[in-house]
């Protein structure tokens, strides 16, 4: 998914681009991340002391790109060992939690009962540890998690590369491009890897091969699971869910192949990456890092029954909707496409798109037959083979669709929240058209129920010699959300030049703005910009917008950060 994105020959890429060779399809532990309200403090505790660096690669500020940067070695004299600090209260709390968790999970380590004991005393101790941790952090830090905006100009790429090289010393087995913290455009920087066999210095960031059997994957659509955290439990119920496409355990798209997988995160401090807890194996916990088929293997989540077979099933959008009376009072929905065959660069054919739903936080999924849209130009469902969801709170879910491939425009539909699984209940937006003589064939602007053929392009279909050359003229993978900082709807998508662009609108249907380039195409090929719902700009508490981005040469997902004041 992304094989059409070609690397830029002027740049060197550390890892050869994987080839889309055919591989045999294969269907595809128990450690837990204690719940903390302030992830920043927890991450510092995991990272430990900073390593001593004998030399630092400093990139000349005069360099205009990473490719022509000059590198100088600067010797750094290690400081004398500091006096040992007093015991860290955070470590004490962490120790309590770890001891209790180990005690609770002892049956899984030997020949004990397969059912965890989970005594009330254990849960009470974990809840107590969490409360004490919260009180300590509140008193010391005031719980400030906002990341200050970073001043960036057009020459900041070299400086960012030098800073990233210093930070890279703590990481193991990570690609040389991009480096964490690298400024890839005046507005946007690479934060950290989300997936991959990369050891970043924090065991809960990336390192997904050892933990989940994920060496390579892509897409990573994100949505809020809509749950409220229960402070009396040792884990955080309020999470971000992420759905990924074709996933492999081996390098270069080999090994255990799953069409799709799901990861979870409760991390609210994204400035140094996104933590994903380890898996919860066979204990009834629906809030571990991923649904598992073995203690360290993420399993495929979507298995359609009675529908046309294809070469893969790729998630394109996700959303949660309150559903009183279900297990957690909320249901998760994922829109996916069934790919029938891959074509030339940027093209593929689909059998259909459909929606799968889960009432147990993404652990188990069911495909709704009433949600299936077969790919046919007759009737207009071919316009909605890929999707993006947004739920603004007006009682509707808005679904943005594109045809299969990356050459189309985006269209808009909406449906009452309770009817999201019934395609016959959807309404489709038309900008209207004047018609011919005496107005024959005219279509008033507005919403048309159960008539997808009437949908007109919302964005991504400029016409004329000038229009086709503009950034954003075609729409590939996309994500949409309402941004409280901008007080506008925002969409990110790839375009015909493999740029990542942003548009804004006052309403879900538009009029949408022209495309602004957040990041031009990069070495290795980039695609699938998926926005994080807990970005400070989305929440209205800052100006940063975080989003997932796939890099084809590494076939893994990165976390990016855009400062909207610089767009």
DSSP characters for 102-131? Answer: HHHTGGGTTTS-SS----HHHHHHHHHHHH
Residue ranges and CATH numbers for the domains of the chain are: 145-559 (2.115.10)
pLDDT of residue 562: 99
Q: How confident is the model at residue 1 (pLDDT cuts 50, 70, 90)?
A: low
User: Do the bridges between strand 446-449 and strand 427-430 make them parallel or antiparallel, or are there none, so unpaired?
Assistant: antiparallel
Give the list of residues 6+ apart from residue 442 with CB closer than 8 angstroms, or none.
432, 433, 434, 435
Q: What is the mean pLDDT of residues 504-517?
A: 98
**Which pLDDT value is given to residue 566?**
98
Q: How does residue 348 score in pLDDT terms, banded at 50, 70 and 90?
A: very high
Q: Model confidence at 470, in pLDDT bands (50, 70, 90)?
A: confident
Find the range with the poorest average confidence among 30-34, 267-271, 410-414, 463-467: 30-34
* Chain segment 219-236, per-residue pLDDT in tens: 999 999 999 999 999 999
As a whole number, mean pLDDT of residues 183-200 equals 98
Backbone angles phi, psi at 215, to 5 degrees: -90, -35
d(CA 167, CA 156): 17
Is the omega angle on the peptide bond into residue 131 within 30 degrees of 0, that is, cis? no
The answer to whether the beta carbons of residues 362 and 332 sit under 8 Å apart is yes
Say if residue 531's pLDDT is above 60: yes
Report the C-alpha gap between 564 and 567 in whole angstroms: 5
pLDDT class of 466 with cuts at 50, 70, 90: low
More confident residue, 485 or 145: 485
* 3-state percent helix, strand, coil for the chain, nearest multiple of 5: 20, 30, 50
0.85 exceeded by the pTM?
Answer: no
Tokens coding 527? 């695609």
Radius of gyration of the chain (CA): 24
Which has the minimum average pLDDT: 94-108, 147-161, 196-210, 356-370? 147-161
User: Coil, helix or strand for 215?
Assistant: coil
Angle at 477 between CA 472 and CA 483, to 5 degrees: 75
Q: Do residues 273 and 246 touch, judged by C-beta distance below 8 A?
A: no
Greater pLDDT, 345 or 9 = 345
User: Rounded to 5 degrees, what are φ and ψ at 480?
Assistant: -130, 140
**Residue 281 DSSP SS3:** coil
What is the share, in percent, of the chain residues with pLDDT greater than 90? 64
More confident: 470 or 304: 304
Q: What is the pLDDT of residue 120?
A: 39
Which DSSP string do the residues of 164-196 spell out, in sequence order?
HHHHGGG-BS--SSSPTT-B-SSSEEEEEESSS
What is the pLDDT, as a whole number, of residue 169? 52
């Amino acid at each position: 998914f992304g094989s059409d994105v070609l690397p830029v020959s002027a740049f060197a890429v550390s890892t050869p681009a994987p080839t889309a060779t055919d591989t045999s399809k294969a269907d595809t532990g128990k450690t837990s991340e204690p719940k903390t309200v302030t992830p920043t403090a927890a991450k510092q505790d995991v990272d430990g002391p900073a390593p001593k660096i004998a030399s630092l690669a400093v990139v000349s500020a005069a360099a205009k790109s990473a490719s022509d940067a000059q590198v100088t070695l600067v010797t750094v004299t290690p400081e004398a060992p500091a006096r040992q600090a007093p015991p860290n209260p955070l470590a004490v709390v962490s120790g309590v939690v770890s001891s209790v968790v180990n005690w609770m999970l002892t049956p899984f380590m030997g020949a004990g009962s397969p059912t965890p004991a989970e005594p009330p005393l254990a849960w009470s101790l974990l809840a107590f540890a969490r409360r004490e941790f919260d009180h300590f952090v509140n008193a010391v830090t005031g719980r400030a998690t906002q990341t200050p905006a970073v001043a960036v100009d057009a020459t900041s790429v070299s400086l960012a590369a030098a800073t990233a090289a210093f930070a890279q010393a703590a990481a193991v087995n990570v690609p040389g491009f991009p480096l964490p913290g690298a400024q890839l455009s005046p507005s946007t920087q690479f934060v950290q890897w989300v997936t991959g066999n990369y050891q970043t210095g924090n065991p809960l960031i990336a390192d997904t091969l050892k933990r989940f059997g994920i060496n390579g994957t892509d897409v990573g659509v994100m949505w809020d699971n809509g749950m409220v955290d229960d402070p009396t439990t040792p884990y955080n119920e309020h999470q971000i869910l992420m759905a990924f496409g074709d996933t492999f355990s081996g390098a270069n798209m080999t090994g255990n192949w799953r069409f799709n997988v799901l990861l979870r995160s409760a991390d609210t401090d994204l400035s140094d990456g996104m933590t994903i807890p380890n898996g919860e194996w066979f204990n009834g916990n629906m809030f571990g890092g991923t649904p598992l088929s073995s203690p360290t293997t993420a399993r495929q989540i979507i298995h359609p029954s009675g529908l046309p077979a294809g070469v893969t099933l790729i998630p394109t959008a996700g959303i949660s909707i309150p559903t009183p009376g279900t297990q957690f009072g909320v249901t998760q929905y994922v829109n996916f496409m069934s790919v029938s065959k891959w074509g030339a660069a940027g093209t593929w054919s689909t059998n259909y798109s459909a929606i799968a739903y889960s009432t147990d936080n993404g652990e188990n999924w069911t495909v709704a037959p009433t949600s299936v849209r077969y790919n046919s130009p007759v009737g207009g469902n071919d316009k909605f083979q890929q999707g993006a969801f947004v739920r603004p709170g007006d009682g509707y879910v808005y679904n943005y669709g594109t045809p299969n491939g990356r050459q189309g425009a985006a269209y808009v539909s909406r449906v009452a929240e309770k009817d999201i699984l019934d395609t016959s209940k959807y309404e489709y937006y038309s900008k209207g058209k004047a018609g011919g003589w005496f107005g024959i064939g005219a279509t008033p602007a507005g919403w048309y129920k159960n008539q997808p053929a009437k949908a007109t392009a919302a964005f991504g279909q400029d016409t004329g010699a000038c229009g086709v050359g503009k950034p954003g003229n075609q729409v590939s993978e996309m994500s949409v959300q309402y941004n409280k900082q901008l007080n506008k709807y925002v969409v990110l998508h790839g375009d015909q030049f493999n740029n990542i662009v942003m548009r804004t609108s006052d309403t879900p249907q538009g009029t949408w703005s022209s495309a602004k380039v957040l990041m031009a195409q990069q070495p290795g090929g980039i695609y699938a910009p998926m926005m994080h719902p807990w970005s400070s700009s989305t929440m209205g508490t800052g100006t940063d917008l975080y989003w997932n981005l796939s890099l084809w040469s590494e076939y893994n997902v990165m976390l990016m950060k855009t400062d909207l004041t610089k767009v």
